[in-house]
Chains A and B, each alone.
Chain A
Amino acid sequence: MKNEAIVWDEQLAGAFSHVADYAFLKSHDVCKMFYICPKKLPSYNVAHMIFLSRPQTKLMDAINQQIRMEEIQGSSNKKEYHLWLVPRISLLCERRLQEHGVHGSFSSIRELPLLLFRLESDLVSMELPMCYRDLQLDSDPSGLFLVAESLMSVQGIFGLIPNIYGKGHAAKQVYELMVRMRREMGGNEPQVTPQIDQLILIDRSVDLITPLATQLTYEGLIDQFFQINNCTVKLPGEKFAPATTDSSTSEDSAFQETKTIHLSSSEALFAEIRDCNFSAVGPRLSRHAKSVVAQYEERHAAKTVGELKQFVQRIPQMEVYKQSVATHTTIAELIQEQTASGNFRPALQLEQEFLKGLDTDKVNPFIEDCIAQKEPLEVVLRLICLQCIVNSGFKPKVLEQYKREIIHTYGFEHFLTLENLEKAGLLHVQQGRSTYATIRKTMQLTVDDVSEHDPTDMSYVHSGYAPLSARLVEFLQSPGWRAITGVLQLLPGPTLTETQQLPSALRQRRGSGGSVQSGGEGGTALVFFIGGCTYSEIAALRFLTSRVDQGGPEYVIATTKILNGSSFLQSLSEELVP
């Protein structure tokens, strides 16, 4: 009899690949995998069947049905059923199972506290795409509780974080939950020397501009055009056919409709270009292409047998390098195709005008044209929302006209999506004077002469616009938030500046024992985006890290999910089928 089978909650399976891939599971006696759904499980003989699920009552209902059907088949008495809930056991789910009468069928019910999935050495994600929506549209604070729990587990490993800063309601709530959880632990605090000096909590609703702006870094563009999921991207396969090994004929590649590419910094080339502005990617790739050629040319220089042997030994590395250059050249081509086509450039130009605060108060003719041409609704909504936010809301007439045009062109079924955007604060009627001009000026959100090839300022990530969230982080270190209190008051939600008292045994190590001043050793700062962040924000923070010589801290980034304009708006939409 085979040993174990896993029944997955489909949403978990993807994120789980960061922790344990199929090969790993296989080497640990997992021989079969299924999905949780209200259908019968294929009959399969295993000793243990493990249901891995998020704690949601709907999923419990499906599990109940599956177990019931197993019992009818009579295949249940030979198996042991286990239920593992990720990230925590839910009383509600247990009650649900009890009501169904299957609670007793499980030999064990446990929790698997996987809250943060590591994407890169400086980046973790909770993979909660609906966190912002739940909070804004349904006033459901579940996400905040999980964020606080994940921070407690981070502190369990890396020690208490002495300084906590934050902006926005969600940031404050998370902090309060952390204080509460610390009290619940009583005296059982981790006796670990703090390794993270500051925690910066950024509520997504503080900066709604950045997710709506077009990201112009290499990785940001890949995500916008092709969606990166769990560090992999699926691209049209035919483009890659010639790049694969010679043995594969063109017929084979026809079957291969999509090609899956894993994107990670373990690939040196990608690590180098991922955060570059796209206009700098071309020259870098061509330089690398030349160096590939140069490496191969070295074979002519190899005179002696010894030299030849050295060359041959290097061939596998060179092959990998060559493959990597070829892959990214193809991706860059695919991106170029997209940026050159349609309304990408005019839309980008309009967006940059909006970001500079130009003509944001009336109905924009270009957007009207886009609507008339029935451009994808996301593109239109993204521009309108961006205009609305930088204008601090529309005049009622303007908003009305936009809505009417959208309903008339795209259909009434989008009515609820528009309602949701209003509720989420992305689309609203102006109240009071526009504050964007002040914020833009103080925070230096737009920079005119930014170098895209050799950047000296983070605004290169959007070719001239610096993400507000990342600027907040930058200004916290220097000149300090005290210098920008005016702007902090204009931004929504409270500002948080707190210190956590360390256990006395751990305090001596830290000289000042209190607030971290700018300069000095810098240390490590954890930036947590509550409600998600974009690749451009990640790039901007990495840019800050790259300047550690200027005394800033090294940034580690955590987020509830990585977003882009489309996925952000998608998460807020309400699909009605006409």
Chain B
Amino acid sequence: MAFISDWTQIGSDVFYRKHELYTMEWGGGINLGDFMVAAASYGGPIALTRDETKFTKTQQSGKPIIFVFSSSGRKISSFKWMSGYLLCLGWSRSEDLVCVQEDGAVSLYDMFGTYQHTFNMGQEVKDTQVQSAQVFTSHRETGVAVLSKSNRVFMVSNIYEPRTRKYPDIPSGVVECWCVIREERHTNVLVSQGNNLLLLNHLDQRPQALYPEWNEPGGCIVEMAVSNNSRHVALLSDTGKLWIGSSDIRIKYCEYDVKSQVKPKQIAWCGTGAVVLLWDMTLEVVSVNGDATSYYLDSTSHLVQEPDGVRVLGSTAHDLLQKVPLVVTETLGIGSMAPGALLLEAAKGFQERSTRANDCLAMIKDTLEEAVNHCLQAAQHEYRPQTQKMLLRAALFGKSFLPEINPDPCLPLTWNQLEHLTLPVLLDRLVFRRFFPLALQIASFLKMPESDGASRILAHWACYKVLQPSQKSDEQIAKEINSKLGYTPGISYTDIANRADQAGRKQLAIKLIEYECRAKEQVLVLMRLGEDQTALRRALQSGDTDLIYTVLHHLRQKLSSGDFLMFIRNFPVAQSLHIRSCRELDMEQLRDILVQEDDFHGQALLRIKEAYMSNRTDTRQASLQGAAELFRKAKNESACQMTEEQVKLVKWQVRLEDGQHKPYVNKSLYDTLHQLLIDGQIKEAEKLKTEFKIPERSKNSLLLLRHQTF
């Protein structure tokens, strides 16, 4: 029964197993106690750097070096830390290394030590400095929370879209420990200070005090840990009592006496069923029911919390401690009578040509399908190929008695975390480690849809390809990539072009982005590459005016006003859109364009519009006069005449107003005439009639019709 030799029973029916994943390739020389350690979850890479708070003999003076290892201890990269005082290291969900500095600057690097970008936690953090920081998994992404030296918590819940959020003030005094708790979309912070336990919620104004139920109250919480799903929490008091309960502190599962005055180095949840405490040489596993067991370690270790277990990272070995899944316990457990176990027994019997096979099969006749599934599932949770093979063989054996069953193909690589991680992410991770052919094979083996599988891998390959130095011309490389990738869904030429640009191969990027069929992405990249002409042309082709305006906006900021206007002359639609926005926002600029284009008619119309924006008669008159002249230049005689007539009419009206102290201005020609007739100014009316050449018929009908109404 080799396959259960590493099981340890905790309480009844619950087994934990500690399984060695790797012998560390970094050799035994590394004492993890001297380092700041950060390991990405889901078996991701490990980052190490000298812990400045510990007094050790250093080889080099000056700036620390950050090392990145694979989970088997193979060195992936190392780079010198050039910025300020490094406070905390962590990994994002997409396996970027997150480095938090004392002044609140957060920098991201990929696992190859390539710098990505930096953001800041805000001015206040910069001024007050950070005392501690945590990198956590938020709703969908990775976040960073910091506690400033002025006892304020600031948080960015997505490091790729940093928006700093401030939490309510904590009273002054030493903060013992704190952690971040997710609650659906919100993120709360649990803080232990003196004898108080406080919950900070960014919607509330002040912290909310919580009171966990202790057997002996009055202790101070010195360590805490939240489970990966944020539902459970473990609190350790200075008196060595471990409180395990729900994350809202309302329900207590158990309280366990650790019987040690020494504060553990680390606490972590092992899945959701147990809490692990780590000391220098021992490891204690306490289940939520209060049962416990301990393991001895041979070196200083570091715990990495995973959704279904905890990884124990030591100087020489890398172990996984996890609860044995129920289906495995049932199938492989000693004396189990579960269908899976019986099927396994039957299969063994069959190989040994024993009648046991028949007996066992008869017992599970009705539950055969369940049995097959159990064997398959158990195989998924096993690491050792022999055990997996044995279980799969049993499943196959059982399956042959079942006419209709089509289990999913089983993957020798899978483990429980894969369910959390999903297959595409696993492939991504292989790809990040540049195992392209392996990833491709897995994808085609699993018959994954193209968009999730092959094309994504190819896209990554292309990104990698553009980074490799090559003899070929940019044109050739772009063509080569295109011929391999085509236009399959899921391929983003934008990503590839961006990668090429980051590598300083701008021309290649330009060639590549030509293949992008999504106009928005294409235009944005072209703009960034400085290919403004092409960007504008592509935006215009897309018909998306928002995109066109975006390019225009970009150009206006970049070019001088004159250059800008010359530039857009060649693009009529862009020009008219620009004119349109000027009409609303910038009349001066509009005039410049019309002048540049020798558009006298347009200038005249603009003048008329301006004339009516002013309430002063003299300004209005001047503008209209200007408009009339422009109409003449535009050879539009009739418009010119009409405008001049209007100027003349207003002159008349002003004169009439001065003489009679009655309002005439702003009346139309006929209304003026009408008013004069009503006022009995027959002479003036006659004069106006002759001056403006009002035909007899018009006037008569006007008089007739109007006088009827009086």
- The residues of A with any CB-CB pair to B shorter than 8 Å are 47, 55, 58, 77-78, 80, 88, 90-92, 95, 104, 134, 138-142, 144-145, 148, 173, 176-177, 180, 183-184, 186-188, 368-369, 372-373, 400, 403-405, 407-413, 415-416, 419, 574, 576-578
A420 and chain B: residue at smallest CB distance: B605
- Also in contact, A141 and B543, with CB within 8 A (given A372-B701, A410-B668, A416-B608): yes
The smallest C-beta distance from B544 to any residue of chain A, in angstroms, reads 6
Bound-state CA distance A186–B705 (Å) is 69
B649 and chain A: residue at smallest CB distance: A412
* Secondary structure type dominating chain B contacts: helix
B701 to A412, Cβ gap below 8 A? no
Bound-state CA distance A119–B203 (Å) is 41
The smallest C-beta distance from A428 to any residue of chain B, in angstroms, reads 14
Among B519, B642, B649, which residue has the most Cβ atoms of chain A within 10 A? B642
B541 to A180, Cβ gap below 8 A? yes
B545 to A412, Cβ gap below 8 A? no
**B420 interface residue per 8 A CB criterion:** no
- Also in contact, A577 and B612, with CB within 8 A (given A404-B642, A408-B669, A416-B605): yes
The smallest C-beta distance from A113 to any residue of chain B, in angstroms, reads 14
Bound-state CA distance A419–B634 (Å) is 14
Q: Which residue in B541, B572, B668 is a CB contact (below 8 Å) of A412?
A: B668
A403 to B543, Cβ gap below 8 A? no
The smallest C-beta distance from B532 to any residue of chain A, in angstroms, reads 16
Q: Which residue in A138, A148, A187, A408 is a CB contact (below 8 Å) of B668?
A: A408
Q: What are 30 A-B interface contacts by the 8 Å CB criterion?
A: A55-B546, A80-B203, A88-B546, A92-B546, A138-B579, A138-B580, A139-B573, A140-B576, A140-B580, A141-B543, A141-B545, A144-B543, A145-B545, A180-B519, A180-B541, A186-B487, A188-B489, A372-B670, A372-B702, A407-B646, A408-B670, A409-B668, A409-B670, A411-B666, A416-B608, A419-B605, A574-B609, A576-B609, A576-B612, A578-B666
Bound-state CA distance A409–B671 (Å) is 7
**B80 interface residue per 8 A CB criterion:** no
**B31 interface residue per 8 A CB criterion:** no
Query: Which of chain B's residues have a CB closer than 8 A to the CB of A142?
Result: 545-546
Bound-state CA distance A141–B517 (Å) is 21
B395-403, B475-483, B547-555 - interface stretch: B547-555
Number of interface residues of B (CB under 8 A): 51
B552 and chain A: residue at smallest CB distance: A92
Bound-state CA distance A409–B672 (Å) is 10
B553 to A95, Cβ gap below 8 A? yes
- Also in contact, A187 and B488, with CB within 8 A (given A92-B546, A145-B545): yes
The smallest C-beta distance from B348 to any residue of chain A, in angstroms, reads 48
CB within 8 Å of A: which B674-705 residues: 692, 694, 698, 701-702, 705
The smallest C-beta distance from A4 to any residue of chain B, in angstroms, reads 14
CB within 8 Å of A: which B637-652 residues: 638-639, 642-643, 646, 649
Bound-state CA distance A104–B489 (Å) is 33
The smallest C-beta distance from B630 to any residue of chain A, in angstroms, reads 13
- Also in contact, A92 and B549, with CB within 8 A (given A411-B668, A578-B612): yes
**B470 interface residue per 8 A CB criterion:** no
* For the complex of A and B, 4 pairs with smallest distance between CB atoms: A139-B576, A411-B668, A576-B612, A142-B545
The smallest C-beta distance from A41 to any residue of chain B, in angstroms, reads 19
B701 to A145, Cβ gap below 8 A? no
Among B550, B579, B612, which residue has the most Cβ atoms of chain A within 10 A? B612
A107 and chain B: residue at smallest CB distance: B163
**B667 interface residue per 8 A CB criterion:** yes
Query: Which of chain B's residues have a CB closer than 8 A to the CB of A408?
Result: 668-670, 692, 694
Bound-state CA distance A417–B489 (Å) is 50
Bound-state CA distance A91–B520 (Å) is 10
Query: Which of chain A's residues have a CB closer than 8 A to the CB of B518?
Result: 184
The smallest C-beta distance from B607 to any residue of chain A, in angstroms, reads 11
Bound-state CA distance A412–B666 (Å) is 9
**B205 interface residue per 8 A CB criterion:** yes
A173 and chain B: residue at smallest CB distance: B543
A93 and chain B: residue at smallest CB distance: B546
**B448 interface residue per 8 A CB criterion:** no
The smallest C-beta distance from B330 to any residue of chain A, in angstroms, reads 42
The smallest C-beta distance from A293 to any residue of chain B, in angstroms, reads 45
A141 to B203, Cβ gap below 8 A? no
**B209 interface residue per 8 A CB criterion:** no
The smallest C-beta distance from A79 to any residue of chain B, in angstroms, reads 9
Query: Which of chain B's residues have a CB closer than 8 A to the CB of A369?
Result: 701, 705
**B587 interface residue per 8 A CB criterion:** no
Q: Which residue in B519, B550, B670, B671 is a CB contact (below 8 Å) of A92?
A: B550
- Also in contact, A104 and B576, with CB within 8 A (given A145-B545, A369-B701, A372-B701): no
- Also in contact, A78 and B203, with CB within 8 A (given A92-B553, A139-B573): yes
The smallest C-beta distance from B151 to any residue of chain A, in angstroms, reads 18
Among A80, A187, A188, which residue has the most Cβ atoms of chain B within 10 A? A187
Query: Which of chain B's residues have a CB closer than 8 A to the CB of A80?
Result: 203
B573 to A141, Cβ gap below 8 A? yes
Among A134, A404, A408, A413, which residue has the most Cβ atoms of chain B within 10 A? A408
Bound-state CA distance A77–B667 (Å) is 55
Q: Which residue in A55, A91, A373 is a CB contact (below 8 Å) of B547?
A: A91
B543 to A373, Cβ gap below 8 A? no
Bound-state CA distance A408–B672 (Å) is 10
Bound-state CA distance A578–B646 (Å) is 12
**B425 interface residue per 8 A CB criterion:** no
Knowing that A92-B550, A372-B698 touch, tell me 8 more A-B residue pairs with CB under 8 angstroms.
A91-B546, A92-B549, A139-B573, A140-B545, A141-B545, A145-B545, A184-B519, A410-B668
Query: Which of chain B's residues have a CB closer than 8 A to the CB of A148?
Result: 543
Bound-state CA distance A145–B547 (Å) is 11
Q: Which residue in B547, B642, B701 is a CB contact (below 8 Å) of A407?
A: B642
A148 and chain B: residue at smallest CB distance: B543
Query: Which of chain B's residues have a CB closer than 8 A to the CB of A405?
Result: 698
A47 to B612, Cβ gap below 8 A? no
A403 to B642, Cβ gap below 8 A? yes
Bound-state CA distance A577–B547 (Å) is 35
A187 to B489, Cβ gap below 8 A? yes
A91 to B550, Cβ gap below 8 A? yes
**B358 interface residue per 8 A CB criterion:** no
**B619 interface residue per 8 A CB criterion:** no
Bound-state CA distance A176–B642 (Å) is 43
Bound-state CA distance A408–B583 (Å) is 28
Query: Which of chain A's residues have a CB closer than 8 A to the CB of B544?
Result: 145
A77 and chain B: residue at smallest CB distance: B166
Bound-state CA distance A47–B185 (Å) is 14
Query: Which of chain A's residues have a CB closer than 8 A to the CB of B203?
Result: 47, 78, 80
The smallest C-beta distance from B652 to any residue of chain A, in angstroms, reads 13
CB within 8 Å of A: which B76-107 residues: none
**B577 interface residue per 8 A CB criterion:** yes
A412 to B642, Cβ gap below 8 A? yes
The smallest C-beta distance from A448 to any residue of chain B, in angstroms, reads 34
B162 and chain A: residue at smallest CB distance: A104
Bound-state CA distance A415–B604 (Å) is 11
B543 to A177, Cβ gap below 8 A? yes
Q: Which residue in B546, B576, B643 is a CB contact (below 8 Å) of A90?
A: B546
Query: Which of chain B's residues have a CB closer than 8 A to the CB of A145?
Result: 543-545
CB within 8 Å of A: which B192-243 residues: 203, 205
The smallest C-beta distance from B592 to any residue of chain A, in angstroms, reads 18
The smallest C-beta distance from A227 to any residue of chain B, in angstroms, reads 26
The smallest C-beta distance from A493 to any residue of chain B, in angstroms, reads 17
Bound-state CA distance A145–B605 (Å) is 29
Query: Which of chain A's residues have a CB closer than 8 A to the CB of B547?
Result: 91
**B354 interface residue per 8 A CB criterion:** no
Query: Which of chain A's residues have a CB closer than 8 A to the CB of B669?
Result: 407-409
**B293 interface residue per 8 A CB criterion:** no
Query: Which of chain A's residues have a CB closer than 8 A to the CB of B542?
Result: 180
A407 to B545, Cβ gap below 8 A? no
Bound-state CA distance A177–B542 (Å) is 7
CB within 8 Å of A: which B488-509 residues: 488-489
A400 to B543, Cβ gap below 8 A? no
Query: Which of chain A's residues have a CB closer than 8 A to the CB of B639?
Result: 415
